[in-house]
Structure 1
């Protein structure tokens, strides 16, 4: 699939199953992340690849974090949270590794990490790999941040779930691009 077609057709694929991307697909997806727009070439990102038993451990970490906030959390909610990482055979945790720089503020480094995730999403789609990007409370919870080993200058930008699509991805809805782009200055 050519780049323009992948960019125009990419959709999130929320229902994925085994297998995870193979080594060739991973290399292509991971390499795409490193080509994100990156002012001053700081490469302000790192990624944790979680599979197998790591997914169960991530679910346990989510539960521990939630229970630290609400020890009376209903068992049904606990089990739902524990299973969230099991929705895909592989999760890539995208982490912004912000650095002090006189010309590149922290927000720009976080955006660059987001661009790296977007590149991975498009690469996955082009390769036929199902992918979806999640955030939520577990992306900023201090216990999760600590449990994943982040430093004080790092933050989770998202969880990229990857696997084999359960069914063919939907056709994206057409978008009226004129709704979002306006000439300036106005006439």
Structure 2
């Protein structure tokens, strides 16, 4: 039975679970579709939807991970064995991996920067949607998010970029807290309290 949590309490304790600490069960198709509906409810100046999703499931994750390993070894043939094992599991760490693909492009009215930020907001909403449905999630990029040679393998079209890969599954360990910045280090106040 899932427990309800107030949004402010959730935000005060939100944590990502490392993808390699996730396992089954993962979300089914109906749950993934609900996550994607929720994730797409972000600020989107001009209503461009300058992003899209690619959902990796099942054995296809194994095949793509094997191809990514080949690409990594071609670039670095002297790769140590432990890193080879990491490459073998790129998309298999969690039961479902969703790529958020940015389609930001020049527009007569909407700056590309705003379109890119909208894709980032989609990634965060997807994390929170997965958590709201009771799953662990983690937003990663890693080398293949930036290597356009991997894009055909991943289903990314020319002119698109990867905003992130959101790994979704069941937490195998409890989340741990990490240091957070002090507000005094990241906030500048301008003006006086009204």
Shift in Å, 1:85: 1.8
Quote how far apart the aligned CAs of 1:93 are. 0.9
Question: Which one of 13, 30, 44 corresponds to residue 17 of structure 2?
Answer: 13
The equivalent of 1:129 in structure 2 is 135
* Aligned residue number for residue 36 of structure 1: 42
Preserved CA contact (<8 Å) 1:20 1:90? yes
Whether the aligned pair in 1 keeps the contact of 2:54 and 2:155 (CA below 8 Å) is: no
Give the SS at the match of 1:184.
coil
Corresponding position of 2:93:
87
The structural deviation recorded for 1:26 is 2.0
After superposition, the CA RMSD in angstroms is 2.4
Structure 1 residues 172 and 8 mapped into 2: Cα distance closer, same or farther (>3 Å)?
Answer: farther
TM-score (norm 2): 0.84
Secondary structure of 1:37's aligned partner = coil
Contact 1:36/1:115 (8 A) holds in 2: yes
- For residues 75-119 of structure 1, what are the alpha-carbon distances to aligned partners after superposition, in whole Å with 9 as ceiling and x for unaligned? 543332012322111100111012331222223212211110101
Decide which moves more: 114-123 or 166-175.
Answer: 166-175
**Pairwise CA distance, 1:74:** 4.4
Deviates more, 1:168-177 or 1:30-39: 168-177
How far is 1:70 from its partner?
A: 2.7
User: Between Structure 1 and Structure 2, how many residues are aligned?
Assistant: 187
Residues 24, 170 of structure 2: 8 Å contact kept: yes
Relative contact order, higher structure (CA 8 A, sep 6+): 1
Indicate conservation of the 8 Å contact 1:36/1:119, yes or no: yes
**Structure 1 CA distance, aligned partners of 2:44 and 2:189?**
27
Which deviations, in whole Å up to 9, do the C-alpha atoms of 1:28-80 show, x marking residues without a partner? Answer: 32112111111111111111111111110221221132133234444543332
TM-score (norm 1): 0.87
The answer to whether residue 155 in structure 2 is matched with residue 142 in structure 1 is no
Q: Which residue of 1 aligns with 2:56?
A: 50
Gap runs ≥5 in structure 2: none
Structure 1 residue ranges without an equivalent (≥5):
none
Matches of 1:158 and 1:99 in 2, distance apart? 18
SS at match of 1:156: strand
